[in-house]
Amino acid sequence: MADDKKDKKAAKKPAAKKESKAKKAPAKKAEKKPAAKKEPKAKKDSKAKEKKPAAKKTSKAKKAPAKAKKAAPKAPATPPLVKASARYVRIAPRKARLIADQVRGMHIESARALLQFSPRGAAHPIHKLINSAAANAENNHDLIGDEMRIASITVDEGPTLRRFRPRAMGRATPINKRTSHIRVALTPVED
């Protein structure tokens, strides 16, 4: 009898352990289930996000050829701009702008003639700059340099050299030697 009681107790203990494990396991599974449910939603959301851009790409791909067909006849070729610049030119910008305003928009041949016989000091550096831009047109853009027009010419202020002159009674007065940055853009003459 004592042996039977021990056997029953031994049989009950593992059963009790199994039951407690079984009770704990569903609780753990229950905890895992909501987390498992959240993950598929996140996956579904990411899949949905991935599908939407793919749909947009196909619609853009369909629209792109239509736009290309429409844009091709409307887009006239813009004439190239040939640029040249001279920086730190030792002339005041105010004086250089007087000459720049005279030649802006002119044909290159008439601008050269005007600058060649101008008494102004700024005419020489601007003349050299226009010749440089014409050479850029011939060498870099395969255009004819003598068939160009001055599209734009700008004169910006560069750094000022500050000097001083001695004056009476030991005084000194400032002399500002101004510099200019000059830019020219040429374009082919329209026929």
Helix (H) or strand (E) holding 184: strand 180-188
3-state percent helix, strand, coil for the chain, nearest multiple of 5: 60, 20, 15
Q: What is the mean pLDDT of each run of 10 residues along the chain (191 residues)?
A: 57 53 51 51 52 52 54 68 96 97 96 97 97 95 93 97 97 98 94 67
Task: Dig out the tokens for 62 from the structure.
Answer: 């369909």
Rounded distance, CA 154 to CA 151, Å?
A: 10
At 68 the pLDDT is 53
Helix (H) or strand (E) holding 86: strand 82-89
What's the number of CA atoms in the CB half-sphere (13 Å) around residue 77? 5
**What does the DSSP assignment read for 129-153?**
HHHHHHHHHHHHH---GGGEEEEEE
- Among residues 86, 188, 87, which one has the least CA distance to residue 138? 188
pTM greater than 0.75 (yes/no): no
